[in-house]
Amino acid sequence: MFRSELVGIKINNVKMKFLNGDSLVSDRKNSVYDIDIRNNEICIPDFRNDKVIVFDKNFDEIREINNILSPHSLTFGDDGAIYVATYRNGRIQKFDAFGVEIVDWDQKLRENGQVSKPISLDIDTNGNVLIADYELKSVIRVNKEGFYIDSLTIAEKKDFLPHCVRADGKGLVYVADRGKSASIMVFSEDGEFLRTWKNPGKTFDPLAVCIFRDKFVFVPDYSDSRLHLFDVAGKYLASFGARGNKPGDFLNITNLAVDNDSNAYVVEQDSNRVQKIELEELVKDYELMQKNEY
């Protein structure tokens, strides 16, 4: 059971359990920074071992995509293609649905200096690739062929440090900014800045964004090892966890993903585990709150 602080919402029974992450780490800390779920497959970039590992829902390994230098983030195109951001060599590698690399897909981006340290990827409603670049302090949009389209307008801010970009599938783009503002920034899909979600507590180090059921937004707080929960309007609802290695505690959360059965999978930089959180009761509580039945 999670330790939690709640604002305007109670959680009856938010359960969690460990999954076996040992295969990720080879007796070393895994430094896993991202996770994605497609078609009941859990995909995790293994940063230290230069590969992407694909698991089934029981966390048994299905296959690997190898020879990817320090993969930091990945996402899936609507055609089944896999895009992987390799932070150390400043590349975006694209693979088809069978895991075959499309060679030099990012060549023009590299030649034009439009990527340097790509750290997060997602796909917008038109199938374009959103790329957050930590060194260039920018979020750009690229088409399926790898050609630059435009960037988010806030990218000119000198203190902007985008660590995660997420499209909600309905025309909004969320960016976790680790710069001085330490906030979640919300944009329209054409790059217009709309609003900022500020610090929900004494400290805030937003590392990622996970949108759930078009109602919730989870934000991992890296420095505080907590998981914050907002509604889609930016209202702060709750915080989960504390720093530690017990069930329900975290050791520097880096990202999470939610499957079709309302289970969240949380990855942490400083542990060799994945924690699975069952969210169905949280959804029920939220719906009750919306109906003013509390």
C-alpha to C-alpha distance for 113 and 42, rounded to whole angstroms:
32
Q: Is residue 221 part of a domain?
A: no
Q: Is residue 92 part of a domain?
A: yes
pLDDT of residue 36: 94
Residue 77 CA, chain-centre distance (Å), reads 15
Q: What CATH number has the domain bearing residue 129?
A: 2.120.10.30
pLDDT of residue 114: 95
Q: Pick out the chain residues at pLDDT < 70.
A: 1-31, 153-158, 200-202, 289-290, 292-294
Q: What is the pTM of this model?
A: 0.89
Spatial contact of 22 and 272, defined as CB atoms under 8 Å apart: yes
Spatial contact of 66 and 47, defined as CB atoms under 8 Å apart: no
pLDDT of residue 91: 96
Q: Structural domain of residue 189, as residue ranges?
A: 68-198
Q: Is residue 251 part of a domain?
A: no
Q: Is residue 293 part of a domain?
A: no
Q: Is residue 286 part of a domain?
A: no
Give the CA count within 13 Å in the CB-facing half-sphere of 135: 11
Total tally of structural domains belonging to the chain: 1
